[in-house]
Amino acid sequence: MDAIIFNQVKLTYTMKISKNMQNALNNQIILESNASNNYLAMASWCEITGYEGGSSFFYAQSNEERSHMIKIVHYLNNLGVPAVIPATKLPASSFKSLESILKIALNSEQTVTSAIHVMVEIAQKDKDYPTHAFLEWFVNEQVEEETKFETLIKKFELIGRDKIAINEIDKILAASVESSASNTK
Ligand SMILES: [Fe+2]
Ligand SMILES: [Fe+2]
C-alpha cells in the first residue's frame, strides 16, 4: 500500500502500476495536451487565413487529441493514481502554409507514436497486462493518424501547390472531417 497527499487529501492505494509507468502516462497526458493545443493554433490560423477545410479539420483534430488526453486521465484516476493536469504551453501562432502545417502535424504524430511505443515496452517489462491492453488502442490510433497525415501531404505532389490546387486540398481536408464524423455514427 502506498499513501500520497493530493490536494490535502490523503489517498491510500494499492500500487497497480509501476512508478515508471505512472510517469510515462502522465508524460503522455502532456504530449496529448500539447498536441491538442498546437492543433487548435493551426485551426485558428487556417480560419483567419481563409482555409475553411483546414480550419474544421484542425478543430476536429484538436478535440480528438483532447479526448486522448482524457482517456489517460481517467485510466490513471480509476487506478487511484492522481492524473497530473499540465499547464498549457504557448503554441506557434503563425505558419508558412497549409502544407507546412500538415508536415509539422505528421512530425508531432511520429513523436507521439515513439512515446507510446516506449510505454508499451515499459508495460511489457513490468508485465503490466492491463496497461498493455489499454495502450493497444493508442498504438492502432497512431497508425491511423500517421497514415492520415502522410496521405494528405502527398496531395501536394499529386495536385500541386498553386492557388487552385491548394483550394482543392482545402476541400479534401473538409471532406476528411465529414467522413471521419460519419464513421463514428
Ligand atoms: Fe493523440
Ligand atoms: Fe494524433
C-alpha 98 to ligand 2 mean position (Å): 17
Range of the domain at 179: 18-183
Ligand nearest to the CA of 145: 2
User: Could you tell me if residue 12 is inside a domain?
Assistant: no
Query: By C-alpha distance, which of 29, 21, 23 is closest to 127?
Result: 21
User: Could you tell me if residue 4 is inside a domain?
Assistant: no
> Three cell numbers at 69?
488526453
Q: What is the pTM of this model?
A: 0.90
C-alpha 50 to ligand 1 mean position (Å): 26
C-alpha 19 to ligand 1 mean position (Å): 22
User: Could you tell me if residue 2 is inside a domain?
Assistant: no
Count of domains forming the chain = 1
C-alpha 82 to ligand 2 mean position (Å): 24
If 0-12 CB within 10 Å is exposed, 13-18 middle and 19+ buried, where does residue 157 land?
A: exposed
**Domain CATH code at residue 42:** 1.20.1260.10
From first to last of the 185 residues of the chain, give the pLDDT tens digit: 456 666 666 655 556 899 999 999 999 999 999 999 999 999 999 999 999 999 999 999 999 999 999 999 999 999 999 999 999 999 999 999 999 999 999 999 999 999 999 999 999 999 999 999 999 999 999 999 999 999 999 999 999 999 999 999 999 999 999 888 777 65
